[in-house]
Structure 1
């Protein structure tokens, strides 16, 4: 493995690992705060137990996200020093603000975990809510920095020099809103379905049904917010990509020839040498309509761009198709659940509905990883779109493959530890947090 490939592989692995915990940190505290609010309004001990159980999960995943995020910040300097030399002064503001949000989140989660029966009840609730707000802000700020790489702004590039720097314009670049909005809905969808799936499984096992039913319905509600928001945010994001990065759009659709009334391509196997897509389903004129609300609008094909500027078409196209496939499945599940909620309440505890949510547990994160692959690989061969190529930004230091192996071992170890801790936490829920459980009641009577 050469150094350039090793550097890209390490960043891909690190980002793919960290993004899961970023999304959990953006959403899980809101589930916790909602359960806590329900407890304060109803005085139902189940909601209190649920809040405590979820708060421990938030703490575990927050710690892991902090470790992986810190590693990423070091990797940027280690692997891409030329990029950081030029880009750091321009898009450093969202990173510094993200650090502030992280510190607020850390303080708030400490207050929340140790504030039971010590603070005013509504101040205590606000601490939990603040964990969610700061986590959401942290995610949006990081996305703003990434959006700058896709839509550079806030500077003039003259004779190879970056001058007239404006960090505010850099942070609020043309891509930040569409990416942040789509990322936020995707995080709610992925985390909501994952949590709902876990509790659906425990309901199917007839374990502490009252406790897990309330948890399942809260998580499913948040999943629906994300699932139904994704088509709206995805439409905005697609139009933004079509305007700013037409070559990325062409790769997403494996669209080789410029044409008016371009079809939307589902599936298929792209052949870059022949410039065609085999075995695809083409919906006439839909792509033109989606990017411009005009069925006859012109869409540029890959052949209109220099071959050296093409991203890896197959990777981008397959990732885009995976994202659409799993996103559509989650929307369909959301429709079924919403129908049951309003018109067929007897379905809500049916084994088949719970099994659907169990199967859908990883769907959101699969779609999320695929979407980020589209975003990052679709920008290639540029690290700063149209300004700096990725190959020109990599470190000249030899032996990067050993760094890749080392970091891979760390992430594998962290994954094993997280699985162990979360599994242990789930098994301990009845004894520690569920007032409907006999062991819980017996333990409290003794104390």
Structure 2
């Protein structure tokens, strides 16, 4: 394995690990705050127990996200020094603001975890809301930095020099809104379905059904509403990408030839050597409509992109298909859940609906990883689109392959530890609920 590939793999593995725990850490505080609000309003001890159980999970994911995020910060400088040398002064502002948001989140979480029965009840609840808001802001700021790589702005690139730097314009670049919106909704979808699925599994096993029903409903509402909103944000992203990164859209759809009335391609196996897609379902005109709002609109194909500037088509296309396919599956589950809430109350007690949510536990996170693959691989061969190639930004230091093996081992170990902690936390929920239920009876 050469050092360039090792550096890319290490960064990809680190991001793939961090994004899951960061998204859970962004979203879970909102679930926790809703359960806490119901406890304050109803004094139902079940909501208090749900709140405390989720708060322990929030603490675990906060710590894990902090560790993996810190590693990523070091990796940017160690693996991509040329990139940081030039790009750091331009998009450093969102990173510094993200550090401030993280600082606030840490303080608020400390108040929340240790404030039970020690501070005003509503102030205590408010600190939990602050944890969620600051965590969400952290995610938006990080995505703003990433979106700058897809849509560089806030500077003039003259004779190889970065001049007239405007960090505000760089942070609020053309891609930040659509990318941040899509990412935030994806975080709610993936976390909502995963948490709801875990509680659905406990319901199917008959363990503390009342507790898990309350928790399931909160998580399911967040996840299903977000899943139905996600196609709308996806449409915004598709139209934005069609304007700014037509080569990425072409790779996502394996769209080799520029044409009007371009078909939407579902599935298929890209044949880059012959510029075609085999075994695909094609819906005439739909890609043109999605990209331009006109069924006869022209969609740029890869034939207008120099070969050396084309993204890897197969990886981008397959990742996009996985993201969309799993996203639509979760939309279908969401529709069934809404029908159960409003029309078919008996479905809420059925095993098949709970089993659907159990099956969906990994769907959101797989779609999340696939979406980030589209974002990052679809930008290649550029680390700063149109300005700096990824190969030109990598460190000249040898032995990166050993670093990749070491970090992979660390992340795998950390994943196992976190999984064991979460399993222990879930099994402890029963004991917690049993004890509080007996206390309330007394």
Scaled by the length of structure 1, the TM-score of the pair is 0.98
Deviation digits for residues 342-365 of structure 1 (CA, Å, limit 9, x no counterpart): 001111121000000000001000
Whole-angstrom distance in 1 between the partners of 2:78 and 2:140: 24
1:418 aligns with 2:414: no
Structure 1 match to 2:17:
17
1:241 aligns with 2:241: yes
Name the SS for the 1:117 alignment partner. Answer: coil
Counterparts in 2 of 1:379-398, with a 5 A limit?
379-398=379-398
Structure 2 match to 1:159:
159
Structure 2 match to 1:375:
375
Please tell me whether the aligned partners of residues 79 and 395 of structure 2 are also in contact (alpha carbons under 8 angstroms): yes
Deviation digits for residues 145-165 of structure 1 (CA, Å, limit 9, x no counterpart): 000000000000000000000
Query: What is the CA-CA distance between 1:21 and the residue it aligns to?
Result: 1.1
RMSD: 1.1
Whole-angstrom distance in 1 between the partners of 2:57 and 2:431: 16
Whole-angstrom distance in 1 between the partners of 2:344 and 2:159: 66
Moved more, 343-352 or 50-59: 343-352
Query: What is the CA-CA distance between 1:182 and the residue it aligns to?
Result: 0.3
Deviation digits for residues 258-280 of structure 1 (CA, Å, limit 9, x no counterpart): 10000000000001100000000
Structure 1 match to 2:47:
47
Please tell me whether the aligned partners of residues 22 and 61 of structure 2 are also in contact (alpha carbons under 8 angstroms): no
Deviating runs (4+, > 2 A) in structure 1? 439-446
Extract unaligned runs of 5+ from structure 1: none
Question: Would you say how many aligned residue pairs link Structure 1 and Structure 2?
Answer: 442
Whole-angstrom distance in 1 between the partners of 2:140 and 2:226: 15
Name the SS for the 2:14 alignment partner. Answer: helix
Please tell me whether the aligned partners of residues 311 and 380 of structure 1 are also in contact (alpha carbons under 8 angstroms): yes
Whole-angstrom distance in 1 between the partners of 2:112 and 2:430: 21
Name the SS for the 1:268 alignment partner. Answer: strand
Counterparts in 2 of 1:307-326, with a 5 A limit?
307-326=307-326
Structure 1 match to 2:96:
96
Extract unaligned runs of 5+ from structure 2: none
Deviation digits for residues 310-357 of structure 1 (CA, Å, limit 9, x no counterpart): 111000000000000000000000000001100011111210000000
Whole-angstrom distance in 2 between the partners of 1:441 and 1:249: 55
Whole-angstrom distance in 1 between the partners of 2:190 and 2:384: 28
Whole-angstrom distance in 1 between the partners of 2:19 and 2:136: 13
Scaled by the length of structure 2, the TM-score of the pair is 0.99
Structure 1 match to 2:339:
339
1:354 aligns with 2:363: no
Structure 2 match to 1:29:
29
Whole-angstrom distance in 2 between the partners of 1:118 and 1:272: 64
Name the SS for the 2:395 alignment partner. Answer: coil
Deviation digits for residues 384-410 of structure 1 (CA, Å, limit 9, x no counterpart): 000000000000000000110110011
Please tell me whether the aligned partners of residues 149 and 385 of structure 1 are also in contact (alpha carbons under 8 angstroms): yes
Whole-angstrom distance in 2 between the partners of 1:408 and 1:185: 29
Whole-angstrom distance in 1 between the partners of 2:72 and 2:441: 48
Name the SS for the 2:142 alignment partner. Answer: helix
Please tell me whether the aligned partners of residues 430 and 440 of structure 1 are also in contact (alpha carbons under 8 angstroms): no
Structure 1 match to 2:226:
226
Whole-angstrom distance in 1 between the partners of 2:436 and 2:430: 6
Whole-angstrom distance in 2 between the partners of 1:440 and 1:411: 37
Whole-angstrom distance in 1 between the partners of 2:304 and 2:153: 25
Please tell me whether the aligned partners of residues 45 and 436 of structure 2 are also in contact (alpha carbons under 8 angstroms): no
Structure 1 match to 2:405:
405
Whole-angstrom distance in 2 between the partners of 1:46 and 1:261: 56
Name the SS for the 2:265 alignment partner. Answer: strand
Please tell me whether the aligned partners of residues 266 and 280 of structure 1 are also in contact (alpha carbons under 8 angstroms): yes
Please tell me whether the aligned partners of residues 6 and 404 of structure 1 are also in contact (alpha carbons under 8 angstroms): yes
Please tell me whether the aligned partners of residues 200 and 357 of structure 1 are also in contact (alpha carbons under 8 angstroms): yes
Query: What is the CA-CA distance between 1:225 and the residue it aligns to?
Result: 2.2
Whole-angstrom distance in 2 between the partners of 1:17 and 1:268: 29
Structure 2 match to 1:68:
68
Structure 1 match to 2:140:
140
Query: What is the CA-CA distance between 1:440 and the residue it aligns to?
Result: 4.4
Whole-angstrom distance in 2 between the partners of 1:374 and 1:226: 20
Structure 1 match to 2:259:
259
Name the SS for the 2:274 alignment partner. Answer: coil
